[in-house]
């Protein structure tokens, strides 16, 4: 089709909100079904039976639930984080993709939070981790890295929520003006009386940039803190200074890969071919390549420091991770996260959609494996050999893992029907000013932006 | 008079301290009177008594002294009760055998009392024998059924067609059984315990002329030579031996005892020893004589009969012995010299070594070592015990395997009409080859007084379930004694849980029915006991504060133990001429040729399950085996080399086949066992012994050769050869330990040769590196 | 002194060695490895005293044993020179306990007797304390355990029965310590006498390998044992400042 007009943008985006095909509903139905059957039923069983429903034992008391927690927190990065960085550096190509990227952040964080509940032995007392005045006159333990976690994650969640909402206000307004019925009323509320006056624009930009700057260190801190749950222990192979950067890089790495996946889906199924283009995939590809190199470097470091420590405990832990019961997984991780991404050197690869999709999925499989190995292998090889053990996930755990994917998809599907998943006004900023005589859409943008 | 504080542990007890202690115990007494008024079923109440009787105040514990009956060692126990329920068994600090300590099995006694699979009321057989289907009846009915049978035979003067087969029973209850059987006119009163050290009694009789066990003074010995005796495991009196071991090792003395263990498979005692020496199974006695030869030939023995000894020992030169035993000649001479020169030293023998075809000879050889080194009647050596202060010993009535087979034969020939079983479980603890179960099937009427359904009780026509030891009256004379006369009262610590009766009461009730009042006038065991103790009280010569009987009775109930003021039994020992020429050991014979059956089966008593009687206690099932950490099952131990040759590893199922049967068990690769020996614990493999024991693991006894040790008539349970067949299947061995090597992590730190406390470790002032102070 | 200084001061005070010694008692156990025979009597004694569940063969197969004191065993050498040594492993009641810092709800904390206590009611079951404990002596209730009737009649009324989802471990038999303190108070004594408190495991140990007492009292048996040149702490390099002190095994020929 010929060059994109402002009007087309409004039309396309609004279409993505109001026009819903049967395909959408079937996907949604499947997603919800998966969530119920694979997540909630097993979880309720576990609540009834006890954590024994999972494969944990002595000494491997942690398992996939925490691995999933780290994974989803990781995925949440580079949604908002990336969006912020790119916003501050005014990189144009960000604008078509950041909204859905931020949404990813939001929903992964929510899934991560539920994983905490699933992990707890007595989730019905989880509120004891919050510092609120109570009849027991007890505070939580502020020395505990787990408590740092609670703080960091909740803050990050709040920050991201505000950030994504704020960025969407003008678009809510745009949609408000092109919808009627209950949708109209909904957007009236959501758009908070946005009229597009200069003052409003001015304040929005200021606040938006301010938040962006604020969120960057926050995002970095979140995964550093998650890493401390492990690094602050004295468990061989976990007790490592490299862990914070290791986790942050890993997080952005898997997050970026996640974005690629989501971009592909949106582009294909929400018909955003003109908005999400090869440019985006090219840039994301470059980013992925850089991240994979750093990630590989840190992995080499991890092994090296383990070996260099010269202590039996570190050596055995490393040996078990690399050549033990789960050796296959370890080398699968190395293949998917260290070697495969090297193809990103070729521009042809970066700019071809399907291969990028496959790679991005492979990377996230590898990254989940990384988290599983961190939790699943280290605890089995600690200081007292007599107490060594082995941890194997149970069916309940695997089912819940699948269920969380369903949960994430469900939330995302609902999102794309409420939020304009491509930022209308910022996309327009990237386009040339329209000629005077207008196709019918004109009024729309004049009133809104 | 409940007890307020836990016992301060006593370092050591000698006779004088002990006698001071007796009566000083501050523990609940007269539980009997009190329990008489007690509601039969306390369990239905949160707080059992509206107006609680003496010593029952809600929330405050009461302790009762009694005797542990989980094994024959006879340790004194103190049972902590709350609101009429037994909560914890602790050692009685006043009891000289265990001095406040208990083994794991003793701790688990509570699960005998509160076992979910207890027999709760008299019942008669409903289905076929062995089908263990029974219907409940009343006590009167039950007693009447037995009564009429017995009366019938008694009147016809056929008392000898009645047999009473009991587990080892000591003290006055033993006398009661004797009186009863005497009245019936039956000689057939037999005790049977698989682990009863019959060869040791026989050897002692031959060597010392005493049919009793001496006191082995581990505490004061400085050099212990153990020929297969797992004295820290289940050999005779593990708790007392552990006390002695610990104190000999580390009690701030100027010395540290040295312990040497000689056995083909490392036992718990082998692990604790300073030196573990594998010798060919069945040659331990030869090894002992090899050392004896060295001692005599080096002039270490200077008795008048030195000549005879030299002659007898001539053929046991260390080189020849080395060939036969597989122990290096210089090791033999080294140990012999150390044994002779370290004063005091002590040699003991037991386990498979003492239960081979040459068991008695082997133990004679061990005694010879003690004699030649001059360890007899010396502190730190072996001391003689006085005759038991009262009652009977289980030895006097103990049935050898030979006696059991003869009995079985009589049963087959229909010479037995009535069999009364009390606690013993021969169907489990006799080799299947003896066909004992089949013999039982020939007996018209079998009564079981057992508290549990087990393989033997399943054969019974009538079950008159007896109390557990924590619900019954009794008394006990520890065997072996501790050098001076000691007795202990066991009193009920809780009111009976179920509609059961004390064994003694059942006997007395039967006595009434048969009109034995003249001889058995007592209404209850308690009365009977008091009558007996009145005699002891009349003897005088007892601990202080006991002028009238009631206070005497109370004081011994309080102390839980009693000692008599008679002189120490130690006498100078002169060996009988005949004995010397009686010394000599042939290598043991095994059932099965060495080429058809390449492996010697080395059975041993399970630390937790003992001879299998504790297999129905969940705590014991879940207690890791000390050497392997295995729980809930059986296994067969073999040398890594053997395992490699067979191409098996841990968990692989192998068929263990003897000339007399086969069992299938998982492999455990055991670093400290001879390559041509395989070892199996005894205790599992019950067919019908409650929910925790039934159909779990396999019973090695079932494949034992029915071989008899000629000089004692006992079962030579160390005399079986087996072959192994790999099945190709495997199971997960349930064990607690992970990696079995330390990987240089220095977790168990050792220090070389011990020279008492020299410089002082500053354990408290290790700097914390993370702190800047 | 600004708020920051105050914080760091407080923190260092908390971390300084001997910090806990200024409390009422410093309960300590010594374990003589030259005496321990591996008989496991302590294990059953503890199980009986502290209502430790019988987990059953299925849970054992999953590696979920719960005995608070376990006997670790390590082989050295090969046949015929193979040796086996035992070491009882229980909560070391570290004065600088890693498990305490990580508990988000302070369900496990250090009390004024130098005990590492475990508040079952407060525990939310994160299991992080078990991860942080280098001695692997914390055991988690993976399900609700039950006692086949009438086994439950044995349960010790002075000790809670733990529900699913909470962590548990050796308490140094705190119920016995409390009892002894009460008795001392009732008898008008300021302090508990040496030997007056005997944890179940110590009380039953047939080889007298275990000794328990207050290391603040220089005359107590433990204090004397701690001065034995054989005294050492397991994993001392981790600076946990454990209250369980081991006495080296003697290798007479080594
Ligand atoms: N004079 C006077 N009268 C009072 C009061 C007062 O202060 N003074 N207080 C009033 C008040 S507040 C109350 S609550 C009532 C209480 O009056 P009640 O309810 O009568 O309480 P108690 O009298 O303490 O206990 C009643 C009986 O229950 C028995 N008992 C204890 N445990 C158990 C058990 O587990 N099972 C069974 N079956 N019985 C058990 C006790 O031994 C006692 O005999 O009295 C009221 N009446
Ligand atoms: S040794 Fe025997 S008598 Fe002593 S406590 Fe153990 S089982 Fe009981
Ligand atoms: S009871 Fe004593 S000797 Fe036995 S294992 Fe425990 S600590 Fe060692
Ligand atoms: S041993 Fe483990 S559980 Fe006990 S205090 Fe130390 S760290 Fe905590
Ligand atoms: S399991 Fe319980 S005690 Fe342990 S850290 Fe979590 S909440 Fe604290
Ligand atoms: S001190 Fe008490 S709780 Fe700790 S292991 Fe010993 S018996 Fe168990």
Mutate which of C36, C47, C66, C90 for ligand 6? The one with the most ligand atoms within 8 Å of its CB, which is: C90
Place of tokens 């003008």: A170
B479, two tokens: 């065997």
Distance CA B354, CA C164 (A): 50
For B359-401, strand residue ranges (E) read 382-383
More confident residue, B647 or B30: B647
Decide: A363 and A254 in contact? Cβ < 8 Å. Answer: yes
Of B738, B740, B743, the CB nearest to A312: B743
Ligand nearest to the CA of C45: 6
pLDDT at position B494 over 80: yes
Closest chain B residue to C195, measured at CA: B8
pLDDT at position B418 over 50: yes
Decide: B630 and B692 in contact? Cβ < 8 Å. Answer: no
Does the Cβ of C117 fall within 6 Å of ligand 5? no
Among positive and negative, which fits the CA dihedral C45, C51, C52, C56?
Answer: positive
Predicted confidence at residue B38, as pLDDT, reads: 42
For B92-138, strand residue ranges (E) read 123-125, 134-136
A391, two tokens: 């941890």
Mutate which of C128, C132, C138 for ligand 5? The one with the most ligand atoms within 8 Å of its CB, which is: C128
Q: Mean pLDDT of residues grouped by 10 in chain A (449 residues)?
A: 68 76 90 96 96 95 96 84 78 74 87 95 95 89 93 90 89 86 90 90 91 87 93 93 94 91 82 79 93 96 92 94 96 97 94 94 96 95 96 96 94 86 75 54 39
Query: Which residue from C23, C225, C25 is spatially nearest to B764, judged by alpha carbons?
Result: C225
Distance CA B676, CA B679 (A): 10
A182 CA to centre of own chain: 31
pLDDT at position B544 over 60: no
pLDDT at position C214 over 70: yes
Predicted confidence at residue B53, as pLDDT, reads: 58
Q: What is the mean pLDDT of residues B317-321?
A: 94
Q: Omega into B290 within 30° of 0, i.e. cis?
A: no
Distance CA A20, CA A25 (A): 8
Out of A265-274, B612-621, C142-151, least confident range: A265-274
Residues on chain B touching A313 (C-beta within 8 angstroms): 745
From B734's Cα to the closest Cα of chain A, the distance in A is 13
Query: Which residue from A10, A66, A127, A133 is spatially nearest to A423, judged by alpha carbons?
Result: A10
> Chains touching chain C at 3 or more Cβ pairs under 8 angstroms?
A, B
Mutate which of C44, C116, C172, C205 for ligand 6? The one with the most ligand atoms within 8 Å of its CB, which is: C172
Tell me the three state secondary structure of residue B215.
strand
The most confident of B51-60, B562-571, C47-56, by mean pLDDT: C47-56
Distance CA C236, CA C248 (A): 14
Ligand nearest to the CA of A229: 5
pLDDT at position B5 over 50: no
Decide: C215 and C231 in contact? Cβ < 8 Å. Answer: no
Does ipTM surpass 0.90 in this model?
no
Does the Cβ of C138 fall within 6 Å of ligand 4? yes
Residues on chain A touching B749 (C-beta within 8 angstroms): none
Residues on chain A touching B740 (C-beta within 8 angstroms): 385-386
Residues on chain C touching A47 (C-beta within 8 angstroms): none
Distance CA A228, CA A237 (A): 13
Interface residue B744 vs chain A (CB under 8 A)? yes
Nearest protein Cα to ligand 6, atom 2: C173
- Which helix (H) or strand (E) segment holds residue B162: the answer is strand B162-166
Q: Give the pairing of strands B721-730 and B652-658.
A: antiparallel
Give B236 Cα–ligand 2 centroid separation in angstroms. 9
DSSP B265: B
Phi, psi of C89 (to 5 degrees): -125, 120
A/B interface, count of CB pairs below 8 Å: 23
% of chain B with per-residue pLDDT over 90:
75
Instruction: State whether C123 and A121 contact (CB < 8 Å).
Output: yes
Distance CA B293, CA B585 (A): 13
Decide: A82 and A103 in contact? Cβ < 8 Å. Answer: no
Mutate which of B105, B109, B488 for ligand 2? The one with the most ligand atoms within 8 Å of its CB, which is: B105
Residue B208, strand partner residues: none
pLDDT at position B27 over 70: no
Give me the helix-helix angle, B525-538 and B549-559, nearest 10°. 110
Sheet holding B85-91, edge to edge: B62-67, B76-82, B85-91
Q: Give the pairing of strands B258-262 and B445-448.
A: unpaired
Instruction: State whether C125 and A121 contact (CB < 8 Å).
Output: yes
Is A135 exposed, middle or buried, given 0-12, 13-18 or 19+ CB atoms closer than 10 A?
exposed
pLDDT (tens digit, 9 = 90+) per residue, C153-163?
999 999 999 99
Average pLDDT of chain B is: 88
Is A137 exposed, middle or buried, given 0-12, 13-18 or 19+ CB atoms closer than 10 A?
exposed
Out of B565-574, B643-652, C64-73, C208-217, least confident range: B565-574
Predicted confidence at residue B484, as pLDDT, reads: 79
Instruction: State whether A121 and C124 contact (CB < 8 Å).
Output: yes
Q: Which residues make Cβ contacts (< 8 Å) with residue B334, sequence separation at least 6?
A: none
pLDDT (tens digit, 9 = 90+) per residue, C93-136?
999 899 999 999 999 999 888 899 999 999 999 999 999 999 99
pLDDT (tens digit, 9 = 90+) per residue, B700-724?
999 999 999 999 999 999 999 999 9
Instruction: State whether B747 and A384 contact (CB < 8 Å).
Output: yes
% of chain B with per-residue pLDDT over 70:
88
Does pTM surpass 0.90? no
Instruction: State whether B632 and C57 contact (CB < 8 Å).
Output: yes
Ligand 3 atom closest to residue C31's alpha carbon, by position in its atom list: 7
Predicted confidence at residue B757, as pLDDT, reads: 45
Of C63, C103, C143, the CB nearest to A58: C63
Distance CA A333, CA A367 (A): 7
B252 — pLDDT class (breaks 50, 70, 90): low
Cα→Cα distances C219→B5, B36, B65, C93, C134, Å? 20, 47, 31, 21, 31
Ligand nearest to the CA of B44: 1
Q: Which residues make Cβ contacts (< 8 Å) with residue C190, sequence separation at least 6?
A: C184
Query: Which residue from B379, B378, B381, B385 is spatially nearest to B564, judged by alpha carbons?
Result: B385
B733, two tokens: 């061995």
Predicted confidence at residue B52, as pLDDT, reads: 56
Place of tokens 């009007």: A7
Nearest protein Cα to ligand 6, atom 3: C170
Ligand 6 atom closest to residue C200's alpha carbon, by position in its atom list: 7
Residue B637, strand partner residues: B668, B679
Ligand 1 atom closest to residue B58's alpha carbon, by position in its atom list: 32
Interface residue A59 vs chain C (CB under 8 A)? yes
Distance CA B686, CA B692 (A): 10
Place of tokens 């395997």: B401
Q: What is the mean pLDDT of residues B391-409?
A: 92
Predicted confidence at residue B93, as pLDDT, reads: 94
Predicted confidence at residue C32, as pLDDT, reads: 96
Of C35, C87, C151, the CB nearest to B111: C151
Residues on chain A touching C104 (C-beta within 8 angstroms): 128-129, 140-141, 144, 146-147, 150
Does the Cβ of C49 fall within 6 Å of ligand 6? yes
Residues on chain A touching B747 (C-beta within 8 angstroms): 384
Distance CA B546, CA B551 (A): 6
Interface residue A62 vs chain C (CB under 8 A)? yes
Cα→Cα distances B741→A188, B273, C70, C76, C86, Å? 71, 19, 16, 7, 12
C113 CA to centre of own chain: 13
Residue C214, strand partner residues: C27
Of C64, C134, C141, the CB nearest to A234: C134
- Three-state secondary structure readout of chain C: CCHHHHHHHHHHHHHCCCCHHHCCCCEEEEEECCCCCCCCHHHHHHHHHCCCCCCHHHHHHCCCCCCCCEEEEEEECCCCCCEEEEEEECCCCCCCCHHHHHCCCCCEEECCCCCEEECHHHCCCCCHHHHHCCCCCCEECCCCCCCCCCHHHHCCCCCCCCCCCCEECCCCCHHHHHHHHHHHHHCCCCCCCCCCCCCHHHHHCCCCCEEEEECCCCCCHHHHHHCCCCEECCCHHHCCCCCEEEECEEECCC
B56 — pLDDT class (breaks 50, 70, 90): low
Give B405 Cα–ligand 2 centroid separation in angstroms. 29
Each residue of B328-343: b (16+ CB within 10 Å) or e? Answer: ebebbbebbebbbebe
Count CB-CB contacts under 10 A for residue A205: 11
Predicted confidence at residue B51, as pLDDT, reads: 60
Does the Cβ of C91 fall within 6 Å of ligand 4? yes
Query: Which residue from B714, B713, B718 is spatially nearest to B682, judged by alpha carbons?
Result: B718
Is C10 exposed, middle or buried, given 0-12, 13-18 or 19+ CB atoms closer than 10 A?
exposed
Ligand nearest to the CA of C241: 4
Count CB-CB contacts under 10 A for residue A30: 14
Ligand 5 atom closest to residue C106's alpha carbon, by position in its atom list: 8
Residues on chain B touching C153 (C-beta within 8 angstroms): 43, 85-86, 114
Nearest protein Cα to ligand 5, atom 8: C103
Decide: B403 and B165 in contact? Cβ < 8 Å. Answer: no
Query: Which residue from B530, C175, B737, A411 is spatially nearest to B522, judged by alpha carbons?
Result: B530
Residues on chain C touching B269 (C-beta within 8 angstroms): 37
Predicted confidence at residue B34, as pLDDT, reads: 41
Instruction: State whether B738 and A388 contact (CB < 8 Å).
Output: yes
Query: Between vectors from CA B361 to CA B359 and to CA B367, what angle results, nearest 5°?
Result: 105
DSSP B335: H
For B205-290, strand residue ranges (E) read 215-216, 223-227, 258-262, 275-277
């Amino acid at each position: 089709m010929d060059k994109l007009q402002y009007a087309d943008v409004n039309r396309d985006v609004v279409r993505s909100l109001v026009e819903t095909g049967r395909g959408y509903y079937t996907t949604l139905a499947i997603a919800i079904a998966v969530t119920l059957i694979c997540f909630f039923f097993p979880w309720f069983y576990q609540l009834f039976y006890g954590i024994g429903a999972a494969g944990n034992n002595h000494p491997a008391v942690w398992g996939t639930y925490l691995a999933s927690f780290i994974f989803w927190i990781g995925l949440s990065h580079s949604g908002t984080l990336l969006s912020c960085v790119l916003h501050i550096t005014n990189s144009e190509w960000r604008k078509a993709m950041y909204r859905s990227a931020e949404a990813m952040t939001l929903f992964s964080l929510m899934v991560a939070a539920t994983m905490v509940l699933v992990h707890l032995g007595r989730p019905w007392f989880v509120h004891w981790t919050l510092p609120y005045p109570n009849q027991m006159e007890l505070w939580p333990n502020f020395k505990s890295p787990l408590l740092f976690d609670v703080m960091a994650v909740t803050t990050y969640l709040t920050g991201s929520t505000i950030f994504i909402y704020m960025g969407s206000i003008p678009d809510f307004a745009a949609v408000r003006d092109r919808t009627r019925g209950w949708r109209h009323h909904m957007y009236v509320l959501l758009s908070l009386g946005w009229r597009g006056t200069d003052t409003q624009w001015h304040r929005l930009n200021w606040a938006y940039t301010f938040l962006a700057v604020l969120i960057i260190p926050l995002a970095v801190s979140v995964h550093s803190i998650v890493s401390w749950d492990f690094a602050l222990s004295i468990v061989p192979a976990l007790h490592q200074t490299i862990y914070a950067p290791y986790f942050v890089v890993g997080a952005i790495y898997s997050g970026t890969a996640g974005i690629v996946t989501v971009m592909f889906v949106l582009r294909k199924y929400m018909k955003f071919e003109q908005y999400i283009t090869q440019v985006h995939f090219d840039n994301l590809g470059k980013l992925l390549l850089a991240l994979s190199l750093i990630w590989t470097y840190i992995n080499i470091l991890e092994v090296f420091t383990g070996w260099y420590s010269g202590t039996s405990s570190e050596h055995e832990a490393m040996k078990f991770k690399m050549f033990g019961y789960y050796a296959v997984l370890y080398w699968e991780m190395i293949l998917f996260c260290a070697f495969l991404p090297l193809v990103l050197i070729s521009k042809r690869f970066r700019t071809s959609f399907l291969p990028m999709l496959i790679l991005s999925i492979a990377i996230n499989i590898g990254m989940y494996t990384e988290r599983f190995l961190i939790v699943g292998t280290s605890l089995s090889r600690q200081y007292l050999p007599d107490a060594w053990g082995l941890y194997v996930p149970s069916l309940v755990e695997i089912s819940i893992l699948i269920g969380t994917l369903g949960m994430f998809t469900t939330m995302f599907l609902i999102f794309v029907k409420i939020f304009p998943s491509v930022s209308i006004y910022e996309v327009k900023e990237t386009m040339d000013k329209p000629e005077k005589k207008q196709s019918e859409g004109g009024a729309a943008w004049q009133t809104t932006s | 008079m409940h007890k307020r504080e836990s016992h301060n542990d006593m370092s050591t007890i000698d006779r004088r301290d002990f006698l001071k202690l007796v009566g000083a115990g501050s523990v609940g007494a007269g539980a009997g009177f009190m329990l008489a008024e007690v509601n039969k079923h306390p369990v239905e109440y949160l707080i059992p008594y509206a107006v609680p009787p003496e010593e029952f105040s809600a929330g405050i514990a009461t302790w009762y002294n009694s005797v542990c009956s989980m094994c024959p060692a006879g340790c004194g126990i103190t049972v902590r009760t709350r609101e009429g329920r037994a909560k914890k068994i602790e050692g009685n600090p006043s009891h000289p055998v265990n001095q406040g300590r208990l083994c794991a099995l003793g701790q688990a006694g509570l699960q005998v009392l509160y076992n979910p699979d207890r027999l709760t009321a008299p019942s008669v057989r409903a289905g076929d024998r062995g089908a263990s289907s029974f219907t409940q009846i009343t006590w009167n009915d039950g007693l009447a059924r037995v009564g009429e049978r017995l009366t019938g035979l008694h009147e016809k003067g056929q008392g000898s067609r009645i047999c009473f087969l009991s587990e080892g029973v000591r003290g006055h209850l033993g006398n009661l059984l004797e009186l009863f059987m005497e009245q019936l006119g039956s000689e057939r009163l037999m005790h049977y315990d698989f682990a009863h050290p019959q060869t040791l009694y026989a050897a002692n009789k031959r060597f010392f002329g005493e049919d009793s066990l001496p006191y082995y003074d581990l505490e004061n010995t400085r050099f212990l030579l153990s020929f297969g005796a797992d004295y820290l495991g289940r050999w005779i009196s593990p708790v007392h031996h552990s006390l002695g071991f610990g104190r000999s090792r580390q009690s701030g003395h100027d010395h540290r005892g040295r312990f040497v263990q000689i056995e083909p498979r490392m036992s718990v005692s082998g692990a604790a020893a300073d030196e573990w020496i594998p010798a060919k199974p069945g040659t331990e006695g030869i090894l002992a004589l090899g050392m004896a030869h060295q001692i005599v030939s080096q002039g270490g023995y200077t008795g008048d009969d030195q000549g005879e000894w030299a002659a007898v020992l001539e053929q046991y030169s260390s080189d020849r012995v080395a060939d036969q035993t597989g122990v290096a000649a210089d090791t033999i001479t080294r140990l012999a010299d150390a044994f002779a020169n370290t004063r005091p030293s002590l040699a003991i023998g037991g386990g498979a070594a003492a239960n081979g075809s040459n068991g008695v000879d082997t133990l004679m050889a061990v005694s010879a070592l003690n004699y030649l080194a001059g360890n007899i009647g010396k502190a730190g050596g072996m001391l003689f015990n006085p005759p038991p202060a009262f009652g009977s010993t289980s030895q006097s009535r103990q049935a050898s395997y030979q006696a059991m087979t003869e009995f079985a034969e009589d049963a087959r020939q229909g010479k037995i009409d009535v069999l009364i079983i009390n606690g013993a479980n021969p169907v489990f603890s006799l080799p299947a080859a003896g066909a004992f179960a089949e013999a039982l099937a020939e007996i018209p009427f079998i009564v079981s007084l057992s508290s549990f359904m087990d393989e033997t009780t399943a054969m019974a026509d009538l079950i008159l379930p007896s109390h557990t030891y924590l619900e019954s009256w009794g008394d006990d004379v520890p065997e072996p004694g501790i050098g001076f006369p000691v007795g202990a009262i066991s009193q009920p610590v809780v009111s009976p849980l179920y509609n059961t009766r004390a064994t003694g009461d059942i006997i007395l009730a039967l006595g009434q029915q048969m009109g034995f009042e003249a001889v058995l006038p007592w209404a209850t065991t308690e009365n009977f006991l008091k009558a007996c103790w009145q005699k002891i009280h009349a003897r005088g010569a007892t601990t202080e504060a006991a002028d009238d009987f009631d206070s005497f009775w109370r004081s011994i109930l309080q102390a839980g133990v009693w000692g008599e003021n008679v002189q120490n039994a130690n006498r100078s020992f002169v060996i009988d001429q005949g004995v010397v020429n009686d010394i000599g050991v042939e290598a043991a014979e095994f059932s099965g040729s060495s080429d058809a059956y390449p492996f010697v089966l080395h059975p041993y008593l399970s630390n937790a399950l003992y001879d299998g009687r504790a297999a129905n206690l969940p705590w014991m099932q879940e207690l890791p085996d000390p050497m392997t950490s295995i729980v809930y099952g059986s296994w067969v131990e073999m040398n890594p080399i053997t395992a490699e040759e067979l191409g098996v590893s841990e968990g692989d199922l192998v068929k263990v086949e003897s000339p007399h049967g086969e069992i299938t068990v998982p492999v455990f690769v055991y670093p400290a066992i001879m390559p041509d020996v395989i070892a199996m614990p005894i205790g599992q493999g019950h067919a019908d012994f409650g929910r925790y024991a039934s159909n779990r693991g396999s019973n090695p006894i079932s494949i034992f050769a029915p071989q008899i040790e000629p000089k004692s008539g006992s079962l030579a349970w160390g005399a079986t050869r087996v072959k192994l067949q790999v099945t190709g299947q495997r199971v997960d061995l349930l064990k607690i330990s992970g990696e079995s090597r330390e990987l240089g992590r220095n977790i168990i730190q050792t220090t070389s040769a011990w020279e008492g406390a020299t410089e002082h470790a500053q354990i408290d002032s290790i700097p914390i590196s993370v702190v800047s102070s | 002194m600004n708020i920051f200084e105050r914080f760091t001061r407080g923190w260092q005070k908390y971390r300084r060695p001997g910090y806990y010694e200024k409390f009422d008692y410093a309960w300590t156990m010594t374990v003589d490895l030259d005496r321990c025979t591996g008989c496991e009597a302590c294990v059953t004694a503890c199980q009986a005293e502290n209502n430790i569940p019988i987990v059953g063969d299925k849970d054992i197969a999953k590696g979920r044993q719960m005995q608070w004191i376990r006997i670790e065993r390590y082989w050295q050498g090969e046949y015929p020179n193979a040796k086996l040594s035992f070491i009882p492993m229980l909560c070391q009641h570290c004065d600088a306990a890693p498990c305490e810092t990580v508990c988000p709800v302070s369900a496990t904390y250090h009390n004024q007797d130098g005990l590492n206590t475990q508040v079952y009611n407060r525990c939310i079951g994160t299991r992080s304390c078990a991860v942080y404990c280098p001695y692997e002596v914390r055991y988690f209730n993976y399900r609700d355990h039950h006692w086949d009737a009438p086994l439950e009649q044995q349960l010790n009324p002075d000790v809670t029965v733990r529900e699913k989802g909470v962590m548990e471990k050796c308490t140094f038999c705190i119920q016995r310590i409390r009892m002894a303190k009460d008795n001392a108070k009732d008898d008008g004594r300021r302090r508990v006498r040496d030997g007056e408190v005997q944890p179940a495991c110590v009380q039953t140990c047939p080889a007298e390998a275990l000794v328990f007492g207050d290391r603040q009292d220089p005359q107590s048996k433990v204090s004397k044992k701690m001065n034995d040149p054989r005294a050492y702490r397991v994993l001392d390099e981790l600076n946990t400042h454990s209250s369980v002190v081991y006495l080296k095994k003697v290798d007479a020929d080594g």
